[in-house]
Amino acid sequence: MKEPNFFLPALAVRRPVTVAMLLVASIVIGAITLSRITLQLLPSGFTPPFLYVTVPTVPTTPADVEREIVRPVESILRTVRNVQRVRSRAETTDASFAIQFVDGTDMTNAYNQVRDRLERVQPELPAEAQRFVIWKFDPDEDPLMFVGAKLRSNEGEPDVEIRQNLIQPLERLPEVSRVDVMGLRPIEVVVEVDDKRANAAGVSVAQLVQTLQDDNFTLAAGTVDQADGRYPLRVLAKLEDLQDLRELPIGPGILLQDVADVRVHRANDREIYRIDGQSGYIVAIYKESQVNTVDAARAIRDKLNEVSGPDKNVKADVFFDQGEVIEGSLYNLAETAFFGGLLAIIILFFFLRRARMTLVTAVAIPLSLLITITVMYFVGVTLNALSLMGLMLSVGMVVDNSIVVTEAIQRRRMLGEPIAVAAPRGAGEVGLAIIVATSTTIVVFLPMVLMSGSETIRFYLGEIGFPVCISLTASLLVSLVFIPLATTWIDTETSVATVPAVEKLQDLYAHSLSWCLHNRATSTLFITLCLATLVIPFRNIKQTDKVEANINDVRIFFDFESTTTYEEKVRLLDEYEKWVAENARDIEVRTWMTRMGGQWGNPQFRLFLEDAAEREMSREEVIEKIKDGFPTMPGSDWRIGWGGAGQEQSVTVDIEGPDTERLTEIGNGVALRLRRIPDVMNVLVGEDDARATELRYTMDSDLGQRLGVSPLMVGGAIDYALRGRRTGTINYQGEDVPLWIRNKADATTTRAELENIAIPSPLGGPGLPIGILAQGEVAPGYNEISRVNGQARLEIQVLTTRDDLKILGEEIDRELAGIELPRGYNVRKGDRFLQLAQEARDRQFALGMAIIFVFLLMGILFESFVLPFVIILSIPFAFLGTYWILYATGTPFDVMAGVGLIILVGIVVNNAIVLVDRVNIMIRSSQDRHEALVEAGRIRLRPITMTAMTTIGGLIPMAIGATEIVGVPYAPLGRTVIGGLITATIFTVYVVPIAYTLIDDLRNWFVDRFTSPSP
């Protein structure tokens, strides 16, 4: 029979010097680019369609923040083009907005529009509302490193010392763009009014406030047209310095300094930052955009060691380091490649029994990866978390083509052909098969990258898929060019030894396949029954949206009763920290950080554990030990986890409607139903289980009218007594700092002191106390108020020990089905359930398109409508192994398992392609179909087994959970692919020949039925 021939193997054997030079050039260029390629944590070039806005304000009630800040800002933000959803949150110290845009929105333009809208609405907000902050995701603007810093001794001014001895040395590094510090107390200028001096001068507080506001402002007043152009107009009345402020006239012959003292001090904003129980600072360090991440991290660490040594007063601990994460990921990649290569060598040597031939085949792994990194370098792709993920996926697959080529050459050597003939013919014989097999693996990424419903997913899958596609293409070239030539150099033996065990396996398979072909009905029934068992794991396997990271820290969150004072919180915090300090060695904690107040709300502990290699306990064991010993103080509660979640699974149910009070009533009823679900530990309505309480004053309107006292005057007096009044900003040492006016006496803190404050009547006569003018009452309030697209939203948090979201969602649906809601209100499961459903839809779509693409590609390359149907039948048997191995190991089906399932589509058909290709060659040589199928199966069993075993071997580090990228373990992906490969390999060598005969018989029947001559 005429053997197929490909020009590349023959050309490589004829031009050995050219190929050798190309090989050397690939290795040299690859080594150079590997040392120069940019390293970063996440890829640049894409901004997710989200913006986040924060408007800080002085402490007040969430209801006031919602009314005065959230509603006007929310209304104007919804006028921005392509806005899909605006989620607002009103809290005691700020209003925050999460803006989601339609996929494909130009985020630079969106950012500019949002900024423009906020500039317009800023003058309409209360004076207490500070300047807005807009955050847009950009990996180049993420902190390179987080550092916890404290002083060994607190002599002098701590803020000044930390700036001089830590921040400024870091800022001087050329690799550092900026350094942000949390824990520095902000500077403010305070006008402290002396009541006695003010009363003697006949000056009221209202007069002082009005004077400061009238004489200290900047106003943009439009534009003015002149002959030479248009000029922007600004009206300025700014106090230049503190001396100007002190000498500000407030009445005839009266200066501000006559009735008040002007002081500069650091604000006590009741935020706490502690390191190891001592007052400290959290330092965020940013790198220059063009600097290599790992190099920048090393330079920063060197500087930290220099400025925070044992003889220095500053002590710094690194909490998070992008460079360290990247180096760890690279190490994991190298380790995976090493063990994968080692297992491949062992497996190859078992089959080939020739050390030099085995080593040549195994070289395909590093050579293919070097070529891939070279291409990435020249097209501008960085080595980041996602591209490393793609490279790691490639490790187990890039050797497959070389195995098939090597085995074909080896088989021809066993038949007695000289190496010079066996090398090009063996490679040419399987050329079409490995081209088709490689193409099918590459093509499965197209539906994931090009057809996903989310631009974000398309971008990230593209970053993962690009290295995979390049490495597989490189492995194809290596197998067709370098492997044939290399075998002619190293194979000098005149005969090749056989492997008895492999021959016995081939003979056993040939006999069993022959029996199956003669008993197709029985075989088909047995195979169908095996496939039907897929129902068992499919129905019982757990589903989750979480990808648990191998992180090295534990977070503890605290909740307090709504009436707990700041001082009581600090006292409880001290007690909890005392326990951590006493037990740090037992729970293997290296250092810990405490945050409270401001954007952090209630206290949070973040315990950083010793390095995994130095610990005796796993992170899970540390958590259990903390649970067993951590105290619970009266008036407080704690939980371990992240965000609103505890160590238990946390899901949400959202209720939306026009009125917050009505939402709470509905939410309480929904919570009662949700608590009936098995394994639900607790249900929290709103931010906490108990609503906040607040003190409210209602004005006696009749009394106020008789005295000429308005509610605004009473409210202003209360506001001034408790907080003072902010009257703008003033320049101090080159910076604009807040300017406040307050009473010189101690701040009012109790209800009795507040109600004793007298409000003077504009009509004359003695003033009356607030307690007479207004009636105070304690009433329920809110810790926070949430809104979505202009409607109030109440979030119900469900804490459960169940981690199967699919079953949990079904039970929640059953409980919610019988609820009757008022018009305008609706209840739905939270974002985690929506995300899980969207992931399932995307995965099903990607699987379907991957199968279609593989089918079309095989039809094109095989020039057949029938053969693709035969090959496609191997795919369901991959799912059989995937679900059974996940079910047997108790591994939830998560995002990583879904990625592995899609990749399997392109991998498992390779065995069928290699087998069908050989069958076609033998049938074209006029061999009987039955004999051709049995003999082709016997011949191809060895390369099929070799490629499957080497791929499985390369994935074993993933499957046992030892491999991770950026802390994310690959166990679900590794187990998915391994399970699918095992069952697909076993069933493919039987299913494909049986299907081939059935479809061939069906085709012959159609031909005979519709093309037979008419009588």
Compute CA 459 distance to the chain's CA centroid, rounded to the nearest angstrom: 14
What pTM was computed for the model? 0.72
Whether 715 maps to a domain, the answer reads no
Judge if 518 and 417 occupy the same domain.
no
- Helix, strand, coil percentages for the chain (3-state, nearest 5): 55, 20, 25
- Tell whether the model's pLDDT for residue 384 goes beyond 50: yes
Domain termination residue (choose one: 136, 171, 205): 136
Q: How confident is the model at residue 1 (pLDDT cuts 50, 70, 90)?
A: very low
Domain termination residue (choose one: 111, 136, 161): 136
Judge if 385 and 531 occupy the same domain.
no
Give the chain's mean pLDDT.
81
User: Over the stretch 674-698, which tens digit does the pLDDT of each residue have?
Assistant: 888 887 877 877 655 445 677 888 8
Residue by residue, DSSP assigns 199-216 as: HHHT--HHHHHHHHHHSS
Nearest C-alpha neighbor of 510 from the set 941, 889, 40: 941
- Tell whether the model's pLDDT for residue 621 goes beyond 50: yes
Look at residue 687 in the predicted model and tell me its pLDDT: 55
453 φ, ψ to 5°? -70, -15
Look at residue 405 in the predicted model and tell me its pLDDT: 87
Mean pLDDT computed over 952-969: 67
Q: What percent of the chain has pLDDT over 70?
A: 88
Count of the separate structural domains present in the chain: 3
Q: How confident is the model at residue 599 (pLDDT cuts 50, 70, 90)?
A: low
Residue by residue, DSSP assigns 273-301 as: EEETTEEEEEEEEEE-TTS-HHHHHHHHH
Judge if 922 and 971 occupy the same domain.
yes
- Tell whether the model's pLDDT for residue 249 goes beyond 90: no
- Tell whether the model's pLDDT for residue 38 goes beyond 60: yes
Mean pLDDT computed over 388-396: 78
Distances (CA, A) of 32 to 371, 524, 886: 11, 55, 41
Judge if 516 and 487 occupy the same domain.
no
Cβ neighbours around 688 below 10 Å, total: 18
Lowest mean pLDDT among 559-563, 672-676, 870-874, 950-954: 559-563
Judge if 466 and 515 occupy the same domain.
no
Look at residue 765 in the predicted model and tell me its pLDDT: 62
8 Å CB contact between 90 and 785: yes
Domain range enclosing 124: 50-136
Judge if 419 and 532 occupy the same domain.
no
Judge if 976 and 845 occupy the same domain.
yes
Look at residue 646 in the predicted model and tell me its pLDDT: 40
Highest mean pLDDT among 166-175, 563-572, 726-735 belongs to 166-175
- What's the token pair of residue 39? 């390293």
| Distance between CA atoms of residues 519 and 990, nearest Å | 12
Judge if 485 and 507 occupy the same domain.
no
- Tell whether the model's pLDDT for residue 428 goes beyond 70: yes
- By CB neighbour count within 10 A (0-12 exposed, 13-18 middle, 19+ buried), where does 669 fall? middle
User: Over the stretch 170-212, which tens digit does the pLDDT of each residue have?
Assistant: 999 999 988 988 888 878 888 888 878 877 887 777 778 778 7
Whether 221 maps to a domain, the answer reads no
User: Over the stretch 226-238, which tens digit does the pLDDT of each residue have?
Assistant: 766 666 666 666 7
Judge if 840 and 985 occupy the same domain.
yes
Look at residue 127 in the predicted model and tell me its pLDDT: 75
Compute CA 844 distance to the chain's CA centroid, rounded to the nearest angstrom: 22
Strand 735-743 and strand 187-193: pairing?
Answer: parallel
Look at residue 645 in the predicted model and tell me its pLDDT: 38
Three-state DSSP at 157 gives coil
8 Å CB contact between 176 and 724: no
Judge if 388 and 426 occupy the same domain.
yes
| Distance between CA atoms of residues 279 and 594, nearest Å | 9
Look at residue 526 in the predicted model and tell me its pLDDT: 93
Highest mean pLDDT among 210-219, 469-478, 481-490 belongs to 469-478
- What's the token pair of residue 246? 């002190």
Whether 390 maps to a domain, the answer reads yes
Q: How confident is the model at residue 882 (pLDDT cuts 50, 70, 90)?
A: very high
Tell me the one-letter amino acid at 399.
Answer: V
Mean pLDDT computed over 239-249: 82
Nearest C-alpha neighbor of 158 from the set 277, 280, 308: 280
441 CB contacts (<8 Å, ≥6 apart)? 397, 468, 472, 903, 906, 907, 910
8 Å CB contact between 34 and 370: yes
Look at residue 63 in the predicted model and tell me its pLDDT: 82
Look at residue 303 in the predicted model and tell me its pLDDT: 92
Q: How confident is the model at residue 531 (pLDDT cuts 50, 70, 90)?
A: very high
Whether 801 maps to a domain, the answer reads no
Helix (H) or strand (E) holding 842: helix 831-862
User: Over the stretch 978-997, which tens digit does the pLDDT of each residue have?
Assistant: 999 999 999 999 998 998 89
Look at residue 440 in the predicted model and tell me its pLDDT: 80
Lowest mean pLDDT among 195-204, 361-370, 746-755: 746-755
Whether 82 maps to a domain, the answer reads yes
- Tell whether the model's pLDDT for residue 282 goes beyond 50: yes
Q: Can you give the CATH number for the domain in which 100 is found? A: 3.30.70.1430
Q: How confident is the model at residue 849 (pLDDT cuts 50, 70, 90)?
A: confident
Nearest C-alpha neighbor of 667 from the set 684, 682, 651, 680: 684
Compute CA 227 distance to the chain's CA centroid, rounded to the nearest angstrom: 56
Whether 242 maps to a domain, the answer reads no
Look at residue 644 in the predicted model and tell me its pLDDT: 39
From first CA to last CA, the distance across the chain in angstroms is 38
Whether 311 maps to a domain, the answer reads no
Query: Which is more confidently placed, 465 or 577?
Result: 577
| Distance between CA atoms of residues 235 and 250, nearest Å | 21
927 φ, ψ to 5°? -85, 150
Strand 553-560 and strand 589-596: pairing?
Answer: unpaired
Look at residue 1011 in the predicted model and tell me its pLDDT: 64
265 CB contacts (<8 Å, ≥6 apart)? 187, 188, 190
Q: How confident is the model at residue 870 (pLDDT cuts 50, 70, 90)?
A: confident
- Tell whether the model's pLDDT for residue 269 goes beyond 70: no
User: Over the stretch 888-938, which tens digit does the pLDDT of each residue have?
Assistant: 988 888 877 887 887 788 788 888 888 888 888 888 777 788 888 998 888
8 Å CB contact between 46 and 749: no
Q: How confident is the model at residue 32 (pLDDT cuts 50, 70, 90)?
A: very high
11 CB contacts (<8 Å, ≥6 apart)? none
Domain termination residue (choose one: 497, 520, 553): 497
- Tell whether the model's pLDDT for residue 68 goes beyond 50: yes
Q: Can you give the CATH number for the domain in which 967 is found? A: 1.20.1640.10
Tell me the one-letter amino acid at 253.
Answer: G
Q: How confident is the model at residue 648 (pLDDT cuts 50, 70, 90)?
A: very low
Query: Which is more confidently placed, 318 or 546?
Result: 318
Judge if 406 and 529 occupy the same domain.
no
- Tell whether the model's pLDDT for residue 969 goes beyond 90: no
Mean pLDDT computed over 136-141: 74
| Distance between CA atoms of residues 307 and 281, nearest Å | 15
Helix (H) or strand (E) holding 500: helix 500-518
Judge if 437 and 503 occupy the same domain.
no
Query: Which is more confidently placed, 746 or 755?
Result: 755
Query: Which is more confidently placed, 189 or 127?
Result: 189
Whether 744 maps to a domain, the answer reads no
- Tell whether the model's pLDDT for residue 723 goes beyond 90: no
Query: Which is more confidently placed, 175 or 861?
Result: 175
